[in-house]
């Protein structure tokens, strides 16, 4: 309860234009938001620019924050929307599928492997934009396929399809990477 009050006070100070409070809010959320930008955009310079642009939007629009979600969730939504806008400018490609086709969620029974996290991160970065964005939003940011479809302007079935294809491609990339490391 006390933390919520501190957050509310910080938000109110930001609304009042308090620069110190804005720096505090930025310091509190910038690292996590940068990581979202980097995962989605796959480019450090773009991620840094997107983060700065998102926080400019946060501070310009903080008066519209209604407190219906946490301030962190509100900021995250702005960051993701800015990233999506940037990716759309890049002409991100999503493979549309026929809505009549049923996308089957795979139930996988695999043993957990000891993958080096750097290998996984590297290979996520190697995915095509459409695959990487859907995989990041679903797996790492916790959105469901309906929400992803709404965010990206695609159908829920397309989101599921992109996610399924992203997982398959990621597994192949990791397997190939692991094989190359074994033989070298």
pLDDT (tens digit per residue) in 100-119 = 444 444 434 343 456 678 88
CB neighbour class for 164 (10 Å; exposed up to 12, middle 13-18, buried from 19): middle
What global pTM score does this model have? 0.74
Q: Show the 3-state SS of 41-107.
A: HCCHHHHHHHHHHHHHHHHHHHHHCCCCCCHHHHHHHHHHHHHHHHHHHCCCCCCCCCCCCCCCCCC
Mean pLDDT of 25-44: 95
Please give the Cα distance from 139 to 60 (Å, whole number): 30
Mean pLDDT of 11-40: 95
- Helix or strand holding residue 123 (H, E): helix 117-125
Query: Residue 183 CB: number of other CB atoms within 10 A?
Result: 5
């Amino acid at each position: 309860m006390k933390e919520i009050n501190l957050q509310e006070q910080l938000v109110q100070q930001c609304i009042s234009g308090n620069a110190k409070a804005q720096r505090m809010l930025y310091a509190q959320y910038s690292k996590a938001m940068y990581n979202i930008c980097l995962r989605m955009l796959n480019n450090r310079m773009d991620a840094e620019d997107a983060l700065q642009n998102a926080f400019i939007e946060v501070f310009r629009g903080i008066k519209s924050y209604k407190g219906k979600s946490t301030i962190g969730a509100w900021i995250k939504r702005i960051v993701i929307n800015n990233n999506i806008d940037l990716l759309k400018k890049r002409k991100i490609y999503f493979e549309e599928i026929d809505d009549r086709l049923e996308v089957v969620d795979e139930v996988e029974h695999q043993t957990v492997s000891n993958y080096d996290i750097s290998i996984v991160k590297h290979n996520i970065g190697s995915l095509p934009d459409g695959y990487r964005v859907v995989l990041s939003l679903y797996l790492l940011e916790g959105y469901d396929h309906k929400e992803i479809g709404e965010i990206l302007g695609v159908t829920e079935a397309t989101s599921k399809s992109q996610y399924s294809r992203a997982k398959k491609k990621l597994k192949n990339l990791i397997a190939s990477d692991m094989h190359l490391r074994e033989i070298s």
